[in-house]
Structure 1
Amino acid sequence: MRLFPGVVSTLVVAGLVLAAVSAQADKGVVGENLELRQTLEKRMDAIRADREAYEQIMNDGRDRTILCKTCHGEDGMAVKEGTPNLAGQNPVYIVDQFQRFGDGRRYDFFMAQLAKSFDDEEKIKIALYYASMPNAASGGGKVELMGQGKALFERSCTECHGSDGKGQEGYARLAGQRPEYVTKMLKEFKERTGRRNNPWMSGVALKLSDTDMEALAAYIASLK
């Protein structure tokens, strides 16, 4: 496999950043550690700036999603219930979630094994590949709760996930996410079972009723 010199150095430095992310970003997501987030953003921007190298990395990223597509689909639009769409997701967030699955801060047996099988270079390539895929509103959920969901979203979610649901860099893109997945994640944050460890999100979810969660899920699924 051919890698361009600038990309090699970029990925090496990004690998060092990822190690620091695992050690230091335990508050919630990479987005909460500004210095680490900005460093990783710069590394990914450097990759995007080299068109030829970027195209090579897109091809490599697609090749490495052979196991991912079983659940997340070839284009990042999930094909398995309870699995998130990855198309258009913030790449810094994807890389951070790989780190969390790998070190146990987020629990899923299959994802943990998969995360441990990828090196840092592969994680970055996969993240950039899925981030480049077009996203669309998934729709579904309880449409009659859309107004309630919009109000809840504007009150509780926009600071990190943006008014359009596309997320600040380092935070999850929610726009277009499958409603059953949103509900599932909110319940895991609320119940604090250990599958999702994020004090901030648990604090938000604890204030939500089941109906609130369904309302949020329906509204989020309608966003593009």
Structure 2
Amino acid sequence: MIVVGLAASSMVSASSADDAMSQLNAVMADDAKRQASYEAGHERIRFCGYCHGEDGNSKREYIPNLAAQHPLYLFNQFEKFRDGTREDYVMSKLAKTLSLEERINIAVYYSQQTAKPRTGSDPTNADAGEKLFAVHCAGCHGDKAQGFRDMPRLAGQPAEYLGIALRGFKELDPTKHNTPMIGVAGVLSEREMRALALYLTAL
């Protein structure tokens, strides 16, 4: 507890995104600070665990895994929920209640967990999904869907959640949003989205 307290006290509140990124990078680059942040994050994720699991593997099929995501990606999602770039009834409120150091600690904690693949229910569709992934997704998310930095890990995500996310991107107005996922999801049929989700969930 003493180490955690010292780590927390060294985190000076930062108003800019650059300062926040520097703070996160400093934690990840130092073994002692990372461990202290991890322990503090473990204490703070009690509420998060109800949906995302204590080990970051979600308890509900429509909720994403956080385990093994890059800490930068996780931290950035907190910031998007805080500023309204992303909207969710629970997460938007929760993100606004957390301090900067709490957001960093939770991101660090979940980034160090092990993602557990789910079982795909349709091997034929999963094979088709592998080909779709290679064409549309591997360039950004990695050849094994492991993600990196601000690109999310897709491997092992619940198929239901992946389907919801893809359909959400497909429905976005490109005149108001600039994510490349609009173009990716826009060319996929419902059957192709299902195949892609079944492939990814079993990785």
Task: Verify same fold: TM over 0.5.
Answer: yes
Specify the alignment match of 2:191 in structure 1.
Answer: 211
CA RMSD in angstroms, aligned pairs only = 2.5
Shift of 1:139: 2.2
Structure 1 position 109 matched with structure 2 position 109: no
Match of 2:43 among 38, 46, 63: 63
Indicate if the aligned counterparts of 2:7 and 2:37 stay in contact, CA closer than 8 A: no
Shift of 1:191: 1.3
Shift of 1:170: 1.1
Identity, % of aligned positions: 37
Structure 1 position 90 matched with structure 2 position 70: yes
Q: Give the whole-Å Cα distance in 2 for the aligned partners of 1:149 and 1:126.
A: 32
Specify the alignment match of 1:25 in structure 2.
Answer: none
Shift of 1:222: 1.7
Question: Mind listing any 5+ residue stretches in structure 1 that lack a counterpart?
Answer: 21-35
Pairing of 1:1-224 with structure 2 (within 5 A): 2-4=5-7, 8=10, 11-12=11-12, 15-18=14-17, 40=21, 43-192=23-172, 198-223=178-203
Specify the alignment match of 1:32 in structure 2.
Answer: none
Shift of 1:45: 4.4
- Taking a change above 3 Å as real, the CA distance of residues 100 and 186 of structure 1, as seen in their structure-2 partners, is same
Instruction: Name the stretch that deviates more: 153-162 or 132-141.
Output: 132-141
Give TM-score scaled by structure 2 length. 0.88
Indicate if the aligned counterparts of 2:75 and 2:107 stay in contact, CA closer than 8 A: yes
- Taking a change above 3 Å as real, the CA distance of residues 108 and 200 of structure 1, as seen in their structure-2 partners, is same
Shift of 1:67: 1.0
Q: Report the AA paired with residue 67 of structure 2.
A: A
Report the 3-state secondary structure (helix = DSSP H, G, I; strand = E; otherwise coil) of the residue aligned with 1:184.
helix
Question: Mind listing any 5+ residue stretches in structure 2 that lack a counterpart?
Answer: none
Shift of 1:102: 1.2
Give TM-score scaled by structure 1 length. 0.80
Q: Give the whole-Å Cα distance in 2 for the aligned partners of 1:115 and 1:198.
A: 23
In the TM superposition, structure 1's runs of 4+ consecutive aligned residues that sit over 6 Å from their partners are none
Q: Give the whole-Å Cα distance in 2 for the aligned partners of 1:4 and 1:62.
A: 14
Q: Give the whole-Å Cα distance in 1 for the aligned partners of 2:80 and 2:122.
A: 31
Shift of 1:193: 7.6
